[in-house]
A and B are shown apart, each in its own frame.
Chain A
Amino acid sequence: MIRKTFEHELQEVKDEILVLGSMVEQAILSSVDALKKRDLEAARNILKADRDINKKRFEIENKLMILIATQQPMAHDLRLLASSMEIISELERMGDYAKGIANINIRMGDQPLLKPLIDVPRMAQKDVDMLHRALTAFVEEDVKAAQAIPMEDDEVDALYNQVYRELMTFVIADPKAIERANWLLWVAHNLERVADRVTNICERTVFIVTGEMSEIKNSDDEFWKKRNEA
Chain B
Amino acid sequence: MTQPNPQNGKSEFVLETHDLGIYYGNFRAVADVNIPVRRHKITAIIGPSGCGKSTLLRAFNRMNELFSGTRIEGSVTFEGQNLYDPSVDPVEVRYRIGMVFQKPNPFPKSIYENVAWGARIHGFKGDMDELVVSSLRQAALWDEVKDKLKQSGLALSGGQQQRLCIARALAVQPEVILMDEPASALDPIATLKIEELMQELKQNYTIVIVTHNMQQAARASDHTAMMMLTNGESRSGTVIEFDETNIIFTRPKDKRTEDYVTGRFG
**Interface residue ranges, A against B (CB under 8 Å):** 1-3, 6, 72-79, 211
Given the complex of chains A and B, what is the CA–CA distance between A77 and B264 in angstroms? 11
Q: CB-CB < 8 A to A2: which residues of B?
A: 263-266
**Given known contacts A79-B250, A79-B251, A211-B250, is B262 in contact with A74 (CB within 8 Å)?**
yes
**Given known contacts A79-B250, A79-B251, A211-B250, is B264 in contact with A74 (CB within 8 Å)?**
no
Residue of A6, A79, A211 near B263 (CB, 8 A) is A6
Q: Is the CB of B251 within 8 A of A211?
A: yes
Given the complex of chains A and B, what is the CA–CA distance between A78 and B261 in angstroms? 10
Q: CB-CB < 8 A to A72: which residues of B?
A: 214-215
Closest to A73 in B: B262
Given the complex of chains A and B, what is the CA–CA distance between A75 and B252 in angstroms? 7
Q: CB-CB < 8 A to B264: which residues of A?
A: 1-3
Q: Is the CB of A75 within 8 A of B258?
A: yes
Task: Supply 30 A–B pairs (Cβ within 8 Å), ascending by A.
Answer: A1-B264, A2-B263, A2-B264, A2-B266, A3-B262, A3-B263, A3-B264, A6-B263, A72-B214, A72-B215, A74-B249, A74-B250, A74-B262, A74-B263, A75-B249, A75-B250, A75-B251, A75-B257, A75-B258, A75-B261, A75-B262, A76-B258, A76-B262, A77-B262, A78-B249, A78-B250, A79-B250, A79-B251, A211-B250, A211-B251
Q: Confirm or deny: B132 has a beta carbon within 8 angstroms of a beta carbon on chain A.
A: no
B103 to chain A, nearest CB (A): 25
**B215-266 interface with A by 8 A CB criterion:** 215, 218, 249-252, 257-258, 261-266
Given the complex of chains A and B, what is the CA–CA distance between A6 and B264 in angstroms? 10
**B103-131 interface with A by 8 A CB criterion:** none
Closest to B251 in A: A211
**B90-110 interface with A by 8 A CB criterion:** none
Closest to A207 in B: B251
B108 to chain A, nearest CB (A): 38
Given the complex of chains A and B, what is the CA–CA distance between A73 and B215 in angstroms? 10
Q: Is the CB of B266 within 8 A of A74?
A: no
Q: Is the CB of B261 within 8 A of A74?
A: yes
Q: CB-CB < 8 A to B261: which residues of A?
A: 74-75
A20 to chain B, nearest CB (A): 25
Given the complex of chains A and B, what is the CA–CA distance between A77 and B266 in angstroms? 17
